[in-house]
Amino acid sequence: MSLGRNERLRLRTLDTSDLALRVRWLNDPEVNRYLSYELPITLDGTLEWFRRVQQDPNREELTICHDGEPIGFCGFLAIDRRAKKAEHHLFIGSRAHRGCGLGQIAYRELVAWGFERLGLNRIYGYQHVDNFAAQRTTHRAGWTREGLLREDGVYHGIASDRYLISMLRSEWAGGHRESR
């Protein structure tokens, strides 16, 4: 599959109709290998999670669409309006759409959403030290690796080292914005 134009990949607000896909994809070992979710994910638990998220002003949950069809999910948590910062998460759930460069475009759209719509100044996140695809993707999308956090994340019950990564508004405004 070709990379396609950026216009083919869009983010929109997460909808209840997306939740069954979210459950299916998060239970896929190819997706959850380097994610720190408590497995298995259930639809009932996800519906409950979504109800909480919708009430939480410090969260923004989004669906990644390609040609109008959901291919993954991303979003912001711990949105701090005073400090203008938030943590992010992102995954491409559709196997047919993983491994063809769409992750990089999704990261760029996520960052644009955070800076343009949420008015953030800093977006940060965590990456398992062995998650090379994610590291390569965010590096190419202009993110900075800030440091190594030792045994900071719990992945499949094991405390693991992970990197702290970030993107600042000034970096995005200074160049990465144009390359979208």
Ligand X SMILES: CC(C)(COP(=O)(O)OP(=O)(O)OC[C@H]1O[C@@H](n2cnc3c(N)ncnc32)[C@H](O)[C@@H]1OP(=O)(O)O)[C@@H](O)C(=O)NCCC(=O)NCCS
Positions that interact with ligand X (CB under 6 A): 31, 34-35, 90-92, 98-103, 127, 131-134, 136-137, 140
Nearer to ligand X, 46 or 131 (CB): 131
How far is it, in rounded angstroms, from Cα 159 to Cα 99?
A: 27
Nearer to ligand X, 119 or 146 (CB): 146
Burial 139-170 (b: 16+ CB within 10 A, else e): eebbbeeeeeeeeebebeeeebebbebbbbbe
Q: Which of 34, 29, 26, 28 is nearest to 129 (CA)?
A: 34
Nearer to ligand X, 85 or 162 (CB): 162
Q: How far is the CB of 98 from ligand X (least distance, A)?
A: 4
Nearer to ligand X, 57 or 147 (CB): 147
Q: How far is the CB of 63 from ligand X (least distance, A)?
A: 14
Q: How far is the CB of 81 from ligand X (least distance, A)?
A: 24
